Amino acid sequence: MERDAVLESVFTPVRTPSTFEETVERLGTAIRAGILPAGSRLPAERALADQLGISRSTLRQALTALVQSGHLTATRGRGGGTFVTETPPLTELGAQRLGDDARAVFDLRVAIETGATMLAAERAEPEALDRLDELVARMAEVADAVDFGDYRRADIRFHIGIAEAASSPRLLNAMTEVQGQMSGLITLIAHPPQVLTHSNDQHRRLVRLLRRRDRTRAVELMREHLEGTEHILAGLI
């Protein structure tokens, strides 16, 4: 009965603004913890989306990320479906990779990025925001590319650009440093085009809020953006 209750908890509705990221974390953690054992089959797509309370398109994005990370495998035809791989990543490995040092980087990133966003909403000049829009356009162009490097370079430049828009040299140095620290973690996870498109949509919305000087909503969106990365990392490694 206890095991059934734990398993049932995996398939309760996702209640968060970051439904895609939360779904990846929920399923990835359940796989690594053995709640969804190797070789087990997930519910059919329609049923699973209903159980989690999310759209089928969001579910497909999450499943794609988990397939690319080695947690799941998908087969077609009679007897097909989505299955936990026979050798899924182990909880111990995830804990080793995503330890206290990574948590410290996450905390530092939140402080720097939200602070930079707040100041950028107050101080950003139109030219600085135009450069951010150009980077958003660049990321949109390469989101489907095989090589993640082009997207990541533009992504790093975008976040550093927010610190530049805040007109704070020390904050700019701190942003550059924390982006370097995050890069090692981000390379550990899969980057399907759907994930990158979702992330870049948040970039686009953020620039619009900065143009409107909407400090409160800009900071809230940046925090949501950062939490999305944390959910993905927690679910996959």
Q: Which pLDDT score, from 0 to 100, does residue 2 have?
A: 43
pLDDT in tens, 18-48: 788 889 888 988 887 778 888 999 999 999 9
Q: Which domains does the chain have, with CATH numbers?
A: 2-89 (1.10.10.10), 93-236 (1.20.120.530)
Q: Which pLDDT score, from 0 to 100, does residue 146 have?
A: 77
Report the percentage of the chain scoring pLDDT > 90: 51
Any idea how long the chain is? 237
The rounded distance, in Å, linking the Cα atoms of 9 and 94 is 21
Average model confidence (pLDDT) for the chain? 87
Count of beta carbons in the 10 Å neighbourhood of residue 157 = 17
Give the residue from 180, 137, 135, 183 showing the smallest Cα distance to 162.
135
Q: Which pLDDT score, from 0 to 100, does residue 98 have?
A: 56
Classify 82 as helix, strand or coil.
Answer: strand
What phi and psi, each to the nearest 5 degrees, are found at residue 72?
Answer: -125, 160
The pTM assigned to this predicted structure is 0.76
Give the residue from 74, 96, 73 showing the smallest Cα distance to 86.
73
pLDDT in tens, 163-222: 999 999 999 999 999 998 888 788 777 777 878 888 999 999 999 999 999 999 999 999
The rounded distance, in Å, linking the Cα atoms of 231 and 224 is 10
pLDDT in tens, 1-24: 345 666 777 888 887 777 888 898
